[in-house]
Chain A
Amino acid sequence: MEIIDIHVHPRQDKELKEVENLINFAKKLNITRINFLGDVLYYGYHPNNEQIKKINDLTIKLVKKYPCFFSGFCFVNPEHDKKFIKQEIERCIVKGNLKGIKLEASCNASDKRVFKVAEIAEKLNVPILHHAWDTTNINSRWGPEVCQSDPEDIAILAKKFPKVKIIMAHLIACGVRGILEIKNFDNVWAEISGGQPVTGIMEYAVKKMGAERILFGSDCPGRDFSAQLSKVYGAKITAREKELILGINAKNLLGLK
């Protein structure tokens, strides 16, 4: 069975040896591929152009070194001008080896500045993985520093760009509310990282939106592959549904052979 972890962050300041440890540890748990999203918070929530380039340089370098084990997404900050974003996406995806776009918490997903990134994603036919969280309890939806996106913001983006494949990050943290927000959008996938391996949410997600649009993601190295995998292994869903979530869906979405 293939296991593809679509949500892992390489550490910007660590030696290559750390990456080899990560590979070894992932392989121990039968993970067959890791998708790097960049060390997106290394320079804070609002990285500048040069910082963005450094983050993507590392992802490109790691994917180039281990092409059979790593794939990666190009990280951009929608606050930057469209010309730079377009250039960076072209450098990383069109001319480079990355497969999608990662957006974090510098802009809300329903912000018009995110739309210009979605336009580029639509033209290139590449997926966007967007950070999301149910902020009902954490009260940081519109902080001066962090700009969280709730599942309903992802839904706004998905509705405006029905041809863009959007991956809503952190399904467990988006919870029941998040599942209900995105379930009717065929262009939205949900990635299961975010918090502890809480029972019940995976089962609810499979019941409401089907297993075909759910992807395994761990958010390592802040998390442990083992604990995050337990969300799938422990869930009361069928073996076929587990296979889809663990690898098949990601393989199809990323166009992997």
Chain B
Amino acid sequence: MIIDININWGNWPFGNLYFNSFRNYINKIKNKGIEEGFISPIDGIFSPDPDILNEKVIKKLNKQNNFKCLPIINPKIKNWQEILEKYNKEYKIKIIKIVPSFHRYSIIEKDVYKFFEKLCQLDMSPVIQKRFEDERSKSPVLNLKDIEIKQIEKISKDFPELKIIILCLYWHEVIKLSEKCKNLYFDISFIECLDTLGALLKYISEDRVIFGSNVPFLYPESSILKLQYSTITKEQFDKISFKNLSSFLAK
């Protein structure tokens, strides 16, 4: 069984992304072997109010038990608290994605700290999207400020009770953060070297590694094959593919 924390859906103006019709998209993801997952609206990273796009995904997933919306919130807009409470109470959502590079803020700003405090109060967790694509190949018009690793370190230190998932980190970034920041969890979409997971688990506990594909930016087969062919035990496989995320959500 595989649960994917890193699925995106919607329009991307800078390239010809994988499958587009929503129903086909879900079916094709399922056919690849991903049985459950969390889907965020790509358009939400461009919208001043991502709530409209989140609601669209929530509505589309209404009859899907296995795929849920991972809503995006911009803590720099006025209604973030109201939206957060709605997701928590009405939809029983426990994890919220933020895209600081696209929404143009730093995660250590005062307003954003209030957001993290509120998540703690509501017993929710943030999912921080570090990147969607390799910076070296992105469109030149996407002149975004990167999330600094030291800022992630600071958040981890200042909110030790907060369990944080970071998406799309490179190998060296995971190694750097994993030792100091024990409340961070990492998806596998951008981590890569020979025998990716076998090599990774020499540095970090398998309890903190989560399956993520970053589809449709990347082929889902990439994370699936890394998982299937890495030199790891059945127990490690199960933890990475679904148990860690299930435990994370059941906290």
Q: Which residues of A contact B17 (CB under 8 A)?
A: 199-200
CA distance A195 to B134 in the complex (A): 7
One of A96-104, A107-115, A116-124, A221-229 at the interface: A221-229
Q: Which residues of B contact A226 (CB under 8 A)?
A: 196, 222, 225-226, 228-230
CA distance A227 to B231 in the complex (A): 14
A188 to chain B, nearest CB (A): 20
Given known A224-B194, A226-B229, A229-B225, contact A196–B218 (CB-CB < 8 A): yes
State whether A198 touches B134 (Cβ < 8 A): yes
CA distance A220 to B190 in the complex (A): 15
Does A136 sit at the interface, judged by CB under 8 A? Answer: yes
CB closest chain-B residue, reference A233: B221
A247 to chain B, nearest CB (A): 18
Provide the A17-28 mask, 1 if CB < 8 A to any CB of B, else 0. 000001001001
Of the candidates A133, A199, A227, which one forms a contact with B225 in the assembled complex, judged by CB atoms under 8 Å apart? Answer: A227
A169 to chain B, nearest CB (A): 14
CA distance A196 to B196 in the complex (A): 13
Q: Chain A interface residue count: which class?
A: 20 to 34
Of the candidates A199, A203, A227, A235, which one forms a contact with B196 in the assembled complex, judged by CB atoms under 8 Å apart? Answer: A227
CB closest chain-B residue, reference A138: B136
Q: Which residues of B contact A235 (CB under 8 A)?
A: 219
CA distance A240 to B220 in the complex (A): 21
Given known A226-B228, A233-B225, A235-B219, contact A196–B195 (CB-CB < 8 A): no
Does A165 sit at the interface, judged by CB under 8 A? Answer: no
Does B13 sit at the interface, judged by CB under 8 A? Answer: no
State whether A28 touches B229 (Cβ < 8 A): yes
Q: Which residues of A contact B134 (CB under 8 A)?
A: 173, 195-196, 198
State whether A200 touches B193 (Cβ < 8 A): no
CA distance A78 to B194 in the complex (A): 30
State whether B140 touches A136 (Cβ < 8 A): yes
Q: Which residues of B contact A152 (CB under 8 A)?
A: none
Chain B residues 119 to 153 lying within 8 A of chain A, measured CB to CB, are 133-138, 140
Q: Which residues of B contact A220 (CB under 8 A)?
A: 194
Provide the B177-206 mask, 1 if CB < 8 A to any CB of A, else 0. 000000000000010111110000000000
CB closest chain-B residue, reference A194: B137
State whether B16 touches A204 (Cβ < 8 A): yes
Chain A residues 41 to 67 lying within 8 A of chain B, measured CB to CB, are none
CA distance A175 to B18 in the complex (A): 16
CA distance A226 to B228 in the complex (A): 9
Given known A230-B219, A230-B225, A234-B221, contact A195–B136 (CB-CB < 8 A): yes
Chain A residues 199 to 226 lying within 8 A of chain B, measured CB to CB, are 199-200, 203-204, 220-226
CB closest chain-A residue, reference B228: A226
State whether A234 touches B137 (Cβ < 8 A): no
Does A150 sit at the interface, judged by CB under 8 A? Answer: no
State whether A222 touches B229 (Cβ < 8 A): no
State whether B137 touches A137 (Cβ < 8 A): yes
Chain B residues 1 to 59 lying within 8 A of chain A, measured CB to CB, are 15-18
B49 to chain A, nearest CB (A): 28
CA distance A194 to B219 in the complex (A): 15
Does B216 sit at the interface, judged by CB under 8 A? Answer: yes
Q: Which residues of A contact B228 (CB under 8 A)?
A: 226
B103 to chain A, nearest CB (A): 21
Does A130 sit at the interface, judged by CB under 8 A? Answer: no
In the assembled complex, 13 residue pairs joining A and B whose CB atoms fall closer than 8 Å, in A order, are: A134-B137, A136-B140, A137-B138, A196-B190, A198-B218, A199-B217, A224-B193, A224-B226, A225-B229, A227-B222, A227-B225, A230-B225, A234-B221
- Given contacts A25-B231, A134-B137, A224-B195, 6 further A-B pairs with CB under 8 A are A173-B136, A199-B218, A221-B194, A223-B192, A224-B196, A234-B221
